[in-house]
A and B are shown apart, each in its own frame.
Chain A
Amino acid sequence: MDSVLPVEDRGGPAQPLLLASGLRKHFPVGGGLLGRGRKVVRAVDDLTLSVAKGETLGVVGESGCGKSTVARLLIRLLKPDRGTMVLDGDPVDEPHGITVNELRRQVQMVFQDSYASLNPRLTIAETLAFAPKAHGLPAAEARDRVRDLLAKVGLEPDTYAERYPHELSGGQRQRVNIARALALRPRLVILDEAVSALDKSVEAQVLNMLVDLKTELSLTYLFISHDLNVVQYLSDRVLVMYLGKIVELGPVEAIYGDPQHPYTQALLSARPSMDPRKRTKEAPIQGDPPNPIDPPSGCRFRTRCPFAEDVCARVEPPLADTGRQEVACHMRVAGSGHSKAVA
C-alpha cells in the first residue's frame, strides 16, 4: 500500500477529526537537591478540545499560556504526561489504534518562520522532498510532488526548487513551510503563529493563500496566534487559553461579539481602536501574568480579575455551557457561590 496517498475520511462529518482529552504537560525546572523538590512549569493542565472536520479552530492567548505546547502535543513532538488523543475515531499511540507515525501522516504543522525553521544546508526541493521520500516515495515521484507543492503555494518551481533558504524572503520562506506541511497530504494542519513574523502586507497574502488551500485540499486548520484580528478573520470557532487552561470556547461571532469570560473581555478591549475618538485610558488587565510554575489556586485568572471572590480561590471553575459558548467562570455557573452567578 502506498503510504503517501492521502488518507480517507472514516467517520463522516459528525465525528471530530481530532479529539484530545485531559492533556497534561508539565516541564520540570531546575531546583532542589539531587532533583528532589523540583519545580514544574504547568504548561498544559487537563485540556480537552475537539476539532471538527473542515473547520478552522483559532486558539488565542498571551505568551506563555501554553498554546505552542498544545500544538506540539497534538503532533506528538512532545509526549503528554497524561491524556488521550483520537484521530477520526482511531486512538493514537494505543494498542488498538494508530501509531504516532500514522498520526503524523495526517496531522502536520507549520512553524513560525524564524531563522531556524528551514535547514540552511538543503535546497528547497530537498527540504520538501524529505518527508515523502522518508515515507517511501521514489525519487522521481517525489520530484514531481515538490513541483506540484511549490506551484500550489504560488512559488514558480523552476525558479525556487534549487534555491537555498537564505535566498528567499520571509514571506517566501513561510510559503515553503506551508508547502512542507502539505507534502504528506495531511488532513489537519496546525499553524503555530505561522504569520506572526511577517510584514502586514505579506501576512495578508499568506492568509488568503491559506484560505484558498483549505478549500482546494479539504483541509482542517488549527490556527494558533496572539493576533486577535487575524484569528477573527480566519476562524470558525475560537478557543481562549490562559495559563494552560481553556477559559472560553465557542463560535467566532459569539466570542468576539459577546465575550463572557473576564479575560476574553479584557483581551478584546485591549485591541487598539482605529478610531482616534475611542481612547483607552486604563489598562484593561491589572497585574503581571503569574508564573506558570506556581499558578494561582482555583481559577487561575483570579489574581488579575476585577470580579474575583473567595470561591474563585477555592474552587476551579469548570468549563460550562452557557448557550452559544462554553466559559470557565464562576459568574456563569449557577449556584457556584459567586455573588454575580445567575442562580
Chain B
Amino acid sequence: MFLYALRRLLYLVPVAFGVSLLVFALVHLAPGDPISAIVPPDAPQEVVDKLKEYYGFDKPLPIQYLRWLGVTLTGDFGTSIGTGRPVATEVMSAFGNTIILAISATLLAFTLAVILGTAAAYAKSRIVDRLVTLISLMGVSVPHFWLAIVLVIIFSVELGALPPMGIGPENSTGWRLDGPHLAHMVLPTIALSVIPLGVVTRTVRSTIKEILNSEFVTALQAKGLRDDQILRHVLKNAAPTCLAVMGLQAGNLIGGSILIETVFAWPGTGFLLNSAIFRRDLPILQGTTLVLAFFFMMLNLTVDIIQTMVDPRIKRN
C-alpha cells in the first residue's frame, strides 16, 4: 500500500512539472510585453527590479522557467502588484477561507446526497424516486452563480434574513465560529453544494439500485438477513464508486467556489483570483492557480489511494 502510494506520487512528478510549466506560461500568454503585464506603470524601481530578477525576462525562456521554478519551490511566489505584499501570504490566508466554505459545502452536499440517493434507490413509490431524480437533475443543471443571486434575492433582499455578502459582520476578514459568521456562511454554502449534491445523488442512487438488483443481494435475502444488515453490505459495495465521484466533486468545488465567492464577496482564493485578473496582478494569478492546482492534484491522489484501500478489486497498474 505504501509502495503504491509512493508510486502514484512519483508518477505525479512529471505532471507537476507540466502544471508548473503551464502556470509559468500564463504570464507569456498575456497580451503585450510580459514586463508590463506584471508591473504597474507607477511601480517603484525596487519592485520592478525584484520582479525582473524573479522572472529573468532578459534570459531565454527555458532559463526563465527554471529560475522561476527554483524561486517558487522555496516558497517565494513573488510580490503582489496590487498590495505589494508577498503573494504567498495573500494566497494562503485566502485559501483558508475557501477551505472553510468548501468543507461546509462538502458536508452538506454529501450527507444529503447519500440520504436522498439511498432513499430513492430503496423507495417503493415512484413518486419519491421521481422527486429525487428531479432534484438531482436540477442540481446538475443549475448555474450555481445564478442560484447564488436568486438566494440573495430571496433571503437578503426580500426577507432580510441572511446577509448578502462577506465572511462576517462589518467586513471582517477572518472567520470565527460564532453566530454572525455562521449566518454569513449559509447562503454561499447552499449555492456551492447544489451541483455536487446533484451529481452524487445520481451516482448513489444508480449504484445502489444496481447493487440491489444484483444476485448477491438476492443471496443475502435468501440467507435470511434483515434489511438493515443487508443495507450495510449494500453500502459497503456502493462505497468505492461513490467515493470516487465524491472525490471528483470535492475537487471541482474548488472551481465552483471561484464564482460563488465572487457573488458573495467571500475573501477566498476565488475572490482573490477574480480581483487579481482585474488588476492584472499576474503574480497573484500565478500563485493562486499554482496552489489550487496542487491542492487539486493532492486531493485526487488521496481519493485514489482511499479508493484502492476500500475496493480490493482495483488492481492499479
The answer on direct contact between A and B (beta carbons under 8 Å) is yes
B159 interfacial by beta-carbon distance below 8 Å: no
B7 at the interface (CB under 8 A from A): yes
| Contact across chains for A30 and B6 when beta carbons are under 8 A apart | no
Cβ 8 A contact of B317, one of A30, A33, A34: A30
* Residue interface bits B3-34, CB-to-A below 8 A is 1, else 0: 10011001000000000000000000000000
Q: How far is the CA of A30 from the CA of B3 in the complex (A)?
A: 12
Q: Closest approach, in angstroms, between the C-beta of A28 and any C-beta of chain B?
A: 10
Chain B residues in 8 Å Cβ range of A34:
7, 10
Tell me if A33 and B315 are in contact (CB < 8 A).
Answer: no
Chain A neighbourhood of B313, CB < 8 A: none
A33 touches B10 (CB 8 A): yes
A33 contact set on B, CB distance < 8 A = 3, 6-7, 10
Task: Please state if A30 and B10 are interface contacts (CB–CB under 8 Å).
Answer: no
Determine the residue in chain A with the shortest Cβ distance to B3.
Answer: A33
B124 adjacent to chain A (CB < 8 Å): no
Within 8 A of B (CB), among A7-64: 30, 33-34
For B6, the chain A residues whose CB sits under 8 A away are: 33
Closest A residue to B317 by CB, please name it.
A30
B3 CB, min distance to chain A CBs, angstroms: 7
Residue B316 CB within 8 A of the other chain: yes
Task: Classify chain A: how many residues form its interface, as a range.
Answer: under 10
CB distance from B308 to the nearest CB of A (A): 13
CA distance A33 to B8 in the complex (A): 9
Q: How long is the Cα–Cα vector from A34 to B12 in the complex, in angstroms?
A: 12
Chain A residues lying within 8 Å of B316, measured Cβ to Cβ, are 30
Cα-based distance from A339 to B104 in the complex (angstroms): 76
What CA separation (Å) do A33 and B13 show in the bound complex? Answer: 13
Give A293 Cβ to nearest chain B Cβ, in Å: 13
Which residues in A have their C-beta under 8 angstroms from that of B315?
A: 30
Within 8 A of A (CB), among B30-60: none
**A34 to B11, alpha carbons, bound, how many Å?**
8
Expressed in whole angstroms, the Cα–Cα distance for A34 and B10 within the complex equals 8
Quick one: closest B residue to A34, CB to CB? B10
- Tell me how far the C-beta of A118 lies from the nearest C-beta in chain B, rounded to whole angstroms: 27
Q: Which residues of A contact B10 (CB under 8 A)?
A: 33-34
Nearest CB of chain B from residue A182's CB, rounded to whole Å: 39
Cα–Cα, bound, A103→B33 (Å): 62
Residues from chain A with Cβ under 8 Å of B317 in the complex:
30
Chain B positions 261-317 with a Cβ under 8 Å from a chain A Cβ:
315-317
Give CA–CA (A33, B2) in the complex, Å.
12
Closest A residue, CB atoms, query B6: A33
| Docked pose: A337 CA to B6 CA in angstroms | 48
Bound together, the chains give a CA A335 to CA B6 distance in angstroms of: 52
How far, in angstroms, from A36 to B316 measured CA to CA in the complex? 16
CA of A30 to CA of B10 in the docked complex: distance in angstroms? 15
In the bound complex, residues from chain B placing their C-beta under 8 Å from that of A30 are 315-317
Measured CB to CB, the closest approach of chain A to B289, in angstroms, equals: 29
Q: How far is the CA of A78 from the CA of B315 in the complex (A)?
A: 24
**Shortest CB distance A289–B (Å):** 20
A33 to B317: give the CA distance in the assembly, Å: 11
Closest to B7 in A: A33
Give the complex CA separation of A313 and B6 in angstroms. Answer: 37
Whole-angstrom distance from the CB of A27 to the nearest CB of chain B?
12
Complex Cα–Cα for A34 and B3 (A): 11
CB distance from A216 to the nearest CB of B (A): 46
Complex CA distance for A137 and B214, rounded to whole angstroms: 49
Measured in the bound complex, the distance between the Cα atoms of B244 and A42 in whole Å is 34
Candidate in B6, B10, B317 with the most chain A CB atoms within 10 angstroms: B317
Q: CA–CA, A312 to B10, complex, Å?
A: 43
Which residues of chain A in 117-143 are interfacial with respect to chain B, using CB atoms and an 8 Å cutoff? none
B266 vs chain A, min Cβ distance (A): 42
How many Å from the CB of A196 to the closest CB on chain B? 24
Residue of B nearest to A29 (CB): B317
Complex-state Cα separation, A30 to B11, whole angstroms:
14
Alpha-carbon distance between A77 and B317 when the two chains are bound, in angstroms: 23
Query: Which chain A residues lie closer than 8 Å to B7 at the CB level?
Result: 33-34
A30 to B7, CA, bound (A): 11
Give, as a whole number of angstroms, the nearest-CB distance from A40 to chain B.
Answer: 14
- Report Cα–Cα, A187/B7, bound state, in Å: 49
Name, among B3, B7, B316, the residue most crowded by chain A CB atoms within 10 Å (CB to CB): B7
Please list the 6 inter-chain residue pairs (A to B) with the smallest Cβ-Cβ separation, ordered nearest first: A30-B317, A33-B7, A34-B10, A33-B10, A33-B6, A30-B316
Please, could you name 9 A-B residue pairs with CB atoms under 8 Å apart, sorted by A? Answer: A30-B315, A30-B316, A30-B317, A33-B3, A33-B6, A33-B7, A33-B10, A34-B7, A34-B10
7 more contacts with CB within 8 A, not counting A30-B315, A34-B7, are: A30-B316, A30-B317, A33-B3, A33-B6, A33-B7, A33-B10, A34-B10
